[in-house]
Amino acid sequence: MKTSDRSVNPGALAALRDEPLDWRFKAIPSSLWGVSLADAAKQRLSLFEDGFLPPVVTLDADALEHNLATMAAWCAEHGVRLAPHGKTTMAPQLFARQIEHGAWGFTAANASQLRIYRAFGLSRVLLANQLVDAAALRWVAAELERDPEFEFSAWADSVRSVELMTEALPATGRQVDVLVELGADGGRTGARDEATALAVAEAVRASPALRLVGVAGYEGALAHDSSEHSREIVAGYLRRMRTLTITLAQRGFLSGQIIVTAGGSAFFDQVAAELTGWPDELDVVTVLRSGAYVTHDDGFYRGISPLRDRFRPALRAWAQVTSKPAGDLALLTIGKRDASFDEGLPEPLLFRSDGVTRRLDGHEVTAMNDQHSFLALPPGSPLRVGDWVGLGLSHPCTVFDKWQLIPVVDGDVVVDFIRTYF
């Protein structure tokens, strides 16, 4: 199917942009209450002069576009498809942008996310998890029957999961596509050895409700830095995925187009290197599931992403200095309810005082509470109570879920708003 046929439902997007803004959306100026998202974007408000409340998290318009285009070009160059993990943003407006830049499909982590995807018309979805809940499976079966264009695949890593899927799904109608998930010791889900994976494949083949279409895995749980040792671990795991795929095909478990998918946001270069160049007799589509590339970051992915020298951080948080109780300490109006802290604390980069934005060096966030951040001040710090501090953020996956509405900025001007659904 053509990429254009995979677009987000335009009616659903239009309804999103018609939603009136109000007190539900933190940081949004009260002057925008009752104004639709679309009309609010047209006002081109100033982030600092027109009533936005600190803290506020923003997205940089130029960096977003740059990252989308950069990843699309990289995938095309390396012969892989991209089904971005939508859990990073849960933002249909960004899904639409990803499709415009060639996304092959989308990845979900659970059935609740899948329902949101379907509400916005996404028609090719990989569920990167075992789906064993009977109610969720019945809903999927109904969606497949309702929409002939809907393509859906889930993982299976045990015979028991296959049994539960078979029990919950109707024996007639469209089969649910399944990928055998291969895991590794110390990893997350996935069959730990090839014998188990083969048993799962046999169980899928015997099920009237299921169809085996490929092999799935996730290398990101096996390594957490870009050291040579970590990359060797990842490479070994990906080679096991390759071997399993070929074995399943040779034994008749797989035929036609085969999906092989791995690739978070840290080691997707290795996935492209190890899981392309298949034997001529195999029709394999290699699918990455990277999600964090959309915004990149100023922390974890800045240090580990294969394209860290090409992506640009698009997320920024702005908070105010609310207190300076000591000469070496300031408190900022941002906390764990506003910004990520699981893969590194926010990084002070800029400050704004008397209407002028400047670089901020030598300052460090040392701790965060629910609503405050502790900022260590060097001697001679220029910060005063009331100043704004611009913070780089690490790990975008745990930023977006804290914000229902995020301003998109061009410099200090708000040019759009991104709505999230968590």
pLDDT digits (tens, 9 = 90+) for 375-392: 999 999 999 999 999 999
Please spell the DSSP secondary structure of 311-350, one letter per residue.
----EEEEEEEEEEEETTEEEES--TTTS--BTB--EEEE
Q: How far apart are CA 175 and CA 211, in angstroms?
A: 6
Distance CA 411, CA 417 (A): 14
pLDDT attached to residue 1:
33
Predicted confidence (pLDDT) per residue in 87-117, tens digit: 999 999 999 999 999 999 999 999 999 999 9
Count how many Cα atoms sit within 13 Å of the Cα of residue 259 in the half-sphere of its side chain.
29
For 29-55, write each residue's pLDDT tens digit: 999 999 999 999 999 999 999 999 999
Distances 96 to 39, 246, 372 between C-alpha atoms, Å: 19, 34, 35
- Cα 332 to chain center, whole Å? 28
**Quick check: pTM over 0.85?**
yes
Stretch (H or E) spanning 382: none
The residue with tokens 């699981």 is 342
Alpha helices in 46-182 (DSSP H): 61-78, 92-100, 111-119, 134-146, 159-168
